Amino acid sequence: MDTTGTFFLPPQNSTVASDIDFLWDFIYWASAAFFVILGVAIFYFIIRYRRRRQGELTTGVAHNLPLEIAWTVIPTILIFFVFVWGFKGYMKLHIAPGDSMEVKVTGQKWFWSFQYPEGASTVNELVVPVDKPVKLLMSSVDVIHSFYVPNFRVKMDVLPNRYTELWFEATAVGDYDLLCTEYCGKGHSEMIGKVRVLGEREFNEWLESAGGMGEGMTPAEYGAQLFKSKACNTCHSIDGSKVVGPSFLNLYNTQQMLTNGQPVMADENYLRESILNPQAKLVAGYDPVMPSYQGVLKDQQIDALIAYIKSLKE
């Protein structure tokens, strides 16, 4: 893929950019070529067939079938090519691949905000992984805005009371301009954001550390929410009653008896290990049925669950 900018636009950094530029260039150069051909022909005819003498008559040619056919068929073929190529590109641009990552975009006077399904949220900075399709579900809370990333060659209006969609797949790591291209009031020209494309690993690290998870909550409150949303509550109680697994009430910093007869202190490291590798230390009197949450919970979520367990004291 070409990574140098064109005369009109910055480098192509998405999977659709080269197709779009190709069609644009085709229309541009076809127009330029016909402009020159027609201009030259007009001047040639003006001079060649000018009236030289008083009373001179123009030649009697009124019709030329081959010429008529040529200037009907050639433009038709060109326009048909533009239509087919354009329609293919239109479909590609408007149907996001099924495995797209989805981000909710909100346009507002005069900034952009982004909400990730994992809970993170950012303002004026859309962080995405490279080489992965990203689908944006967009709406506005006030007037019409328009989401435009020149490097990706994608643009879509963002409307109040309705969702619009846009997708792209970035092909290079880097920071790209994000502009509002619908005049939306006095701060319109300040409505500038950035798309930050990261490598897959860096993106996952970013997502993990993005302060958005459990935003506005204390770690223990966020942990209480995860206790339900991650289904810990199907096997653990918080009122001291024994269910499938031990209760979390008064668990922190107490001695637990393991199946191998060894006592263990339920400190932070033990709680962490119990969540990531439950079979490593089995609590006496229980079956080894707890699933591992390795790869399911992010570090920050494990911290929140531990904070929640610590808060369950009588």
Closest CA to 102 of 137, 138, 55: 137
Which is closer to ligand HEC, CB of 69 or CB of 289?
Answer: 289
Which is closer to Cu ion, CB of 189 or CB of 250?
Answer: 189
Query: Would you call 167 helix, strand, or coil by DSSP?
Result: strand
- Of ligand HEC, Cu ion, none, which one does residue 180 interact with (CB within 5 to 8 Å by kind)? Cu ion
Which is closer to ligand HEC, CB of 92 or CB of 281?
Answer: 281
Question: 170: which DSSP letter?
Answer: B
Minimum CB distance to ligand HEC, residue 293 (Å):
5
CA distances (Å), origin 176, targets 17, 170, 196, 210: 14, 10, 6, 20
Tokens 């003498």 locate to 53
- Of Cu ion, ligand HEC, none, which one does residue 307 interact with (CB within 5 to 8 Å by kind)? none
10 Å CB burial of residue 134 (0-12, 13-18, 19+) is buried
- Of Cu ion, ligand HEC, none, which one does residue 234 interact with (CB within 5 to 8 Å by kind)? ligand HEC
How many amino acids of this chain bind Cu ion (CB under 5 A)?
Answer: 4
Per CB under 6 A, residues contacting ligand HEC are: 230-232, 234-236, 244-246, 251, 256, 266, 271, 274-275, 278, 282-283, 286-290, 293, 305
Site string for Cu ion, 163-192 (x = CB under 5 A): -----------------x---x------x-
Which is closer to Cu ion, CB of 169 or CB of 182?
Answer: 182
What are φ and ψ of residue 155, in 5° steps? Answer: -155, 135
CA distance 247 to 180: 52
Minimum CB distance to ligand HEC, residue 176 (Å):
38
- Of Cu ion, ligand HEC, none, which one does residue 207 interact with (CB within 5 to 8 Å by kind)? none
- Residues near 177 by Cβ (< 8 Å), separated by ≥ 6? 10, 149, 150, 151, 192, 193, 194, 195
- Of Cu ion, ligand HEC, none, which one does residue 256 interact with (CB within 5 to 8 Å by kind)? ligand HEC
Which is closer to Cu ion, CB of 96 or CB of 184?
Answer: 184
Which is closer to ligand HEC, CB of 206 or CB of 286?
Answer: 286
CA distance 206 to 146: 27
Minimum CB distance to Cu ion, residue 16 (Å):
23
What number of CA atoms fall less than 13 Å from residue 145's CA on the CB side?
30
What are φ and ψ of residue 238, in 5° steps? Answer: -120, 15
Site string for Cu ion, 133-152 (x = CB under 5 A): ------------x-------
Tokens 């009371």 locate to 161
- Of ligand HEC, Cu ion, none, which one does residue 191 interact with (CB within 5 to 8 Å by kind)? Cu ion
10 Å CB burial of residue 202 (0-12, 13-18, 19+) is middle
Minimum CB distance to Cu ion, residue 191 (Å):
4
Which is closer to ligand HEC, CB of 69 or CB of 231?
Answer: 231
Q: Which residues bind Cu ion (CB under 5 A)?
A: 145, 180, 184, 191
